Amino acid sequence: MITIKDMAEMLELSTTTVSNVIHGKTKEVSGATVAKVQKLIDEYNYVPNINARNLAVNSSKIIGMAIKGSEEKYVNLIADPFYGELIGTVEHELRKAGFFMMLYISGSIEEIIRYTSTWNADGLILVGMSQDDYVKVRQRYKKPTVIIDSYISEEIARHLNVGLEDEEGAYQMTEYLIKYGHRKIGFVTDNMEGIDYYRYLGHKRAMKEYMVPAEEDQLISILPGHLEKEDTLAELMQKAKEVTAFMFCSDYYAATVINYFQDQGLKVPGDISITGFDGNRYGKMVRPVLTTVCQDVTEKGRAAVKQLVKMIENQKQEYGNIRLPVELFIGDSVKKVKDPAAS
């Protein structure tokens, strides 16, 4: 295999000049010289030794992305529109910044720590982690780390989380339903930790401010991965007799229930109103089009990469929680209740 030294001797150039052309540092190299080096590179199909270069600058140019995802909830987590868009954005932004991405998905934080600690990565992006998970990772991994969609106490030093205004989004959706006359609103979740918990807080805050009683049985918890099961869907259909609207913490769950209800003859929004949270393709494909809380997943991925690169490059960095805005998308899945007292 041809080396930089070989090319320099063949072209009667210095190794520094050849190396500069190979690595794109051509400001002080003439166009004719660049062309000569490039011709030789093409002729010999020369590929730079990335490992040697990275060793010289003490950088692997690798960024690890670790996602904690319950196997009960996702058979193929990447098939979920949220994760697919997030992973794609992170990979694209890292490549633009000159990094390569390694991805690991597991429901076990111990397994994630075991594998990511062997990567020699310049930094980590963590998704779906609790505060305890994050602390465990940081005990083993000391390089720059950014979290996505976690709620970390301000007491935890030097953490940076990129998330949403989850509580505000749920508040706005609940307020919208109340203004449409709904008083009996079922809040459906499969996980009362992290983002779903804060969305529930937003829901409760709106109910309290508008002096609408929030009954305990209107908080509906389902097991992760069980929404598609017939018995869970049948239970929700029974619950629909007691409420006028369901708020779901994901568009996927909302769309699944809309399809099931309508297959069973229960009309949406004629008989029951349904809302989601995410603003992904599930809500746009279902009929009626879903009323939901929209987030910008692409911006979330971009922000995480931007902050991590700043850490790696030792740029001035503020730590804490970055909360990206959300907005309501009004579809056709909510009906105005004419007589609030009767609902």
Please tell me the predicted confidence (pLDDT) of residue 165: 96
Give the pairing of strands 219-221 and 160-164.
Answer: unpaired
Tokens 């166009």, residue?
A: 31
Which structure tokens are listed for 137? 């990772």
With a cut of 50, which residues of the chain have pLDDT below it?
55, 342-343
Return the sign of the alpha-carbon dihedral for residues 311, 316, 317, 323. negative
Please tell me the predicted confidence (pLDDT) of residue 329: 97
Please tell me the predicted confidence (pLDDT) of residue 3: 86
Tell me the pTM.
0.79
62-164+297-324 and 166-295+328-342 have identical folds? yes
Predicted confidence (pLDDT) per residue in 117-153, tens digit? 888 899 999 998 989 999 999 888 888 999 999 888 8
Residue type at position 207 = M
- C-alpha pair distances (Å), 302 with each of 92, 98, 162, 248, 314: 9, 14, 10, 26, 18
* Peptide bond preceding 269 in cis form (omega within 30 of 0): yes
Q: What is the topology classification, in CATH, of domain 166-295+328-342?
A: Rossmann fold (3.40.50)
Please tell me the predicted confidence (pLDDT) of residue 75: 59
Please tell me the predicted confidence (pLDDT) of residue 342: 43
Sheet holding 219-221, edge to edge: 219-221, 185-189, 245-248, 273-278, 291-294, 327-329
> What b-and-e string marks burial along 254-291, b requiring 16 or more CB atoms within 10 Å of the CB?
bbbbbebbbeeebebbeebbbbbbbbbebbbebebebb
Can you give the residue ranges of every domain in the chain?
4-48, 62-164+297-324, 166-295+328-342
CA torsion 309-162-277-69 (nearest 10°) is: 80
Tokens 């899945």, residue?
A: 333
- C-alpha pair distances (Å), 194 with each of 3, 132, 174, 202, 207: 52, 11, 19, 13, 21
Q: What is the topology classification, in CATH, of domain 62-164+297-324?
A: Rossmann fold (3.40.50)
